[in-house]
Every structure is written in structure tokens, then in C-alpha cells.
Amino acid sequence: MSLNPLQQYYLQQMGINVYLQRMEKPDNTDDVVAEPSSTFDSVAWETLRREVATCGKCELYKGRTQTVFGVGNPQADWLIIGEAPGAEEDRQGEPFVGRAGKLLNAMLLAIGLQREEVFIANILKCRPPNNRDPRPEEVASCKNYLRIQIEMVQPRIILAVGRVAAQNLLETDTPIGRMRGQRYQYADTGIPVVVTYHPAYLLRSPGEKRKAWQDLQTALKIYRESE
């Protein structure tokens, strides 16, 4: 099998270069670049961004430096959804920064996606103190923002990153290990959802990176089938 040098580099960053020898080549990765949609309402998008920035619908507004609306291409085919901002995300106003963010970037690049091509958002837009799990009432308060984002982005696939994102997005308490490898859909939209581990978890448990690579392959396959 042959991968281009860039893909090889990023797969090595994920720590799966050896395993890759047995995996299918992620060919034709150029086709995962989003086509701009002529129907996207950028005014409504900015209005939503401003609404989130001043939101006080749950207690988390008190401790935030700023809200973390999301980053990337709002007309992306791929929507990546994580849990909530951590300390660095709260400081920078951007999801998935720091070491976990770098690993996420490497995971995306391994299937031919630049960070700028996808849209990345979280279940919560404000940082929970001490990185604790989001509380149900916080998720309920924030849920509508994400729902509107999903409706506006109209992604062809959602990658739910980590247990908290997956369970809240799909409204289930199924353990993440059992959610992997399945094709779910978001609400009744028909948008496929694939679940994988959070890069922060992968940094703590590098042995699981191979499973994350399998998940990315599953997501890519489902994405291509949606064409």
C-alpha cells in the first residue's frame, strides 16, 4: 500500500504507523473537501455567534473567560463534536487546542482533512470548572445552540469525539466502547454519526489509537457512501 508522505507523517503522529501496514489505504482523500453551499445564511450564523457570546442560560457563564462557539468551515461536510472547553480553550476561545487539539488535527489529516475544512464544536460552549463533566441541566440549556449549528452546517457526517459528546449527542448512556463501529444518526435528521475516543484520552491511553484509526476509517467509509 502507499500513502503520501504527509499522510504517513500524521499517522505516525497518531502512533499507528505500524498498524497502518494492515489497514486499507484512505485513497481519494481529496474528495472529502466540502463544496460551498449557496444556501448558507452567514448573517444568521453571526447572529447565533453573538447570542452564544452573551449567553447566561446556565451557571457556567459565571466562570468563563469567553464562550467557545466553534471553529472551522461552517459549510463543512464534516462536523466534529467534542465535550466542552477546557482551560486553554476557554483562554483562546477555540475548541481542541493544546496537545489534544494537535492530536485531533493529526487524526483529521490522516483521512485527508485539514482542520480548516471541518467545523469543530462542543456540546457546551462554556468551560465547566475543573474540567468536570457537564451537568444534565447545562447540556439541556446549551443543546439548542448545537442543534441550530448542525441544522445550519448541514454536515454529511458527524464525528462525536469522546464519551460525553457521544452520549449527549445521541441521548444514550451506552458505554463508548460499545458505540464505536456503529452508524448512528443525529436526532431524526438522517445525518450519520460515528463515535470515537477523545484525543485527550488517547494521549493517556496510546494503545487505543489503533481503535481511533479504525473509527476514522469507518467514518470515511460512511461519508463516501453518502455521496
Residues 119-148 that bind ligand SF4 (CB under 6 A): 124-126, 138, 141-142
Nearest to ligand SF4 of 93, 102 (CB atom): 93
CB 195 within 8 A of CB 215: yes
Should residue 93 be labelled a site residue for ligand SF4 when binding is judged by CB under 6 A? no
Distances (CA, A) of 221 to 29, 39, 96, 103: 11, 26, 24, 21
d(CA 191, CA 183): 10
* Number of residues in contact with ligand SF4 under rule CB under 6 A: 14
Residue 65 CB, nearest distance to ligand SF4 (Å)?
12
Which of residues 9, 19, 61, 184 is near ligand SF4 by CB under 6 A? 61
CB 155 within 8 A of CB 72: no
Residue 112 CB, nearest distance to ligand SF4 (Å)?
32
d(CA 120, CA 118): 6
Should residue 60 be labelled a site residue for ligand SF4 when binding is judged by CB under 6 A? yes
DSSP letter for each residue of 52-76: HHT--SSGGGGG-SS----EE-TT-
Should residue 181 be labelled a site residue for ligand SF4 when binding is judged by CB under 6 A? no
What does the block give as the cell for 100?
A: 489534544
Residue 148 CB, nearest distance to ligand SF4 (Å)?
12
Contact residues: ligand SF4, CB under 6 A: 52, 55-58, 60-61, 67, 124-126, 138, 141-142
